[in-house]
Structure 1
């Protein structure tokens, strides 16, 4: 479900069909275009509605609500019906400190406080999404997802149970103050490593170092430490239902 979230595709679609606003005075207006983006300092709010064609109806809009230094806040009301695939990944992307070899990154301190109000049941997740490449700015080789919430959705996996649930590659991994189950698979374009909180925990206030997840994968030999970190995003993947996702404070820095 992540095969279209690539830097090259997003760049192409942005050039072709989006509204790209560079925030001098902060743009807090609502944007609803399929690939609209708004720049605020080192961040870009992106409406990545790559799976919209799978929906029978629906929409997703987003707006930055505040920005101060390295801390940004945004809201994302969305409503999707029909289909079984992710429709949108509205996210904040970091544009500073990227294209460094993983082995040279000392830390990625992060805070993320969010909430989600829903109308009925929803299928969605809340996750960080990182990509690595063999070269700076190159094509995606590995995708690292760190889920903070799983609302009846599911990660990509090589192994599934008889009931259709993804089977974890490793369980109860202690990282960043929580325990995680790791799922490993492919989206047809790149490897996908998904960390999900054990026991279905929902983490609405995350504070920790994202680099510990990278170090776990490089330490186990899953990803080469010579790869480059090319993308770092945080947002919600929406599949179906009606919800309003709100982030009250988000900050991330690559050291």
Structure 2
């Protein structure tokens, strides 16, 4: 028992030393729940918003190179959404293109989603683009099958440069459209305006104002401490 206890303490110390070393090497770091940092028109957020969350720290060298070390318990419910944000503040009809690229490194354990979170209509509509996911995570849906699985409203949709199953639901505050990619990817390019217009063309909303585009890690559990890294990211907005 003593040997196991000592080993566990050493593992914790090693993990904390790694976090501290990374933080000192980075341009900015924070362990505050809502710590944030602005860089070149982007905002990097720690954003530990869920109940029952554990410890999470964030570091950044730039808006496109940052990461978190998160130690959230193996329980249900989203604990955090560390992300990088680009404000848009223009109607869909005023935009000629909104394109994004990304590259991430994610752990082999835990439960999480690497997702874009796009907000429209003064945050009345939320579009989530699931680029990869792992563990006990499910998209929001109005309809569920007998086994507790969400039912998509459309399947095998090819839009924005990727193929998705599309789910529609509400979180109680706003309507949510979840595009779950047919297979996981840790990097790629996304034509986000095409996706927003695809929803508009189905009549699910109108010529809404695009509030912001975010990309981050929606973490449900990462027990023992896990690293999530944004290796590269950009969102380019062109207006008519």
Same fold (TM over 0.5): yes
- Return structure 1 stretches of 4+ with deviation > 3 angstroms: none
Higher percent of residues as helix: 2
Correspondence 1:40 to 2:39: yes
Q: Is the 8 A contact 1:65 1:75 kept in 2?
A: no
Output the aligned Cα RMSD. 1.6
Q: TM-score, normalised to structure 2's length?
A: 0.83
Structure 1 residue 82 displacement after superposition: 4.5
Correspondence 1:142 to 2:140: no
1:76 corresponds to: 68
Structure 1 residue 165 displacement after superposition: 1.1
1:115 corresponds to: 105
Partners of 2:166 and 2:27 in 1: how far apart? 37
1:86 corresponds to: 78
Alpha-carbon displacement from aligned partner over 1:24-54 (angstroms, at most 9, x marks no partner): xxx7232111100011111111111110x32
Query: Mean Cα displacement is larger for which, 85-94 or 104-113?
Result: 104-113
Structure 1 unaligned spans of 5+: 1-26
Change (3 A) 1:178 1:45: same
Structure 2 unaligned spans of 5+: 1-25
SS in 2 for 1:110: strand
Structure 1 residue 129 displacement after superposition: 0.3
Structure 1 residue 177 displacement after superposition: 2.8
SS in 1 for 2:204: coil
Partners of 1:48 and 1:132 in 2: how far apart? 20
* Residue correspondences, number: 211
Partners of 2:146 and 2:27 in 1: how far apart? 47
Alpha-carbon displacement from aligned partner over 1:177-215 (angstroms, at most 9, x marks no partner): 3210000000101100000012xx111111131111101
Q: TM-score, normalised to structure 1's length?
A: 0.79
Q: Is the 8 A contact 2:74 2:222 kept in 1?
A: no
SS in 2 for 1:54: coil
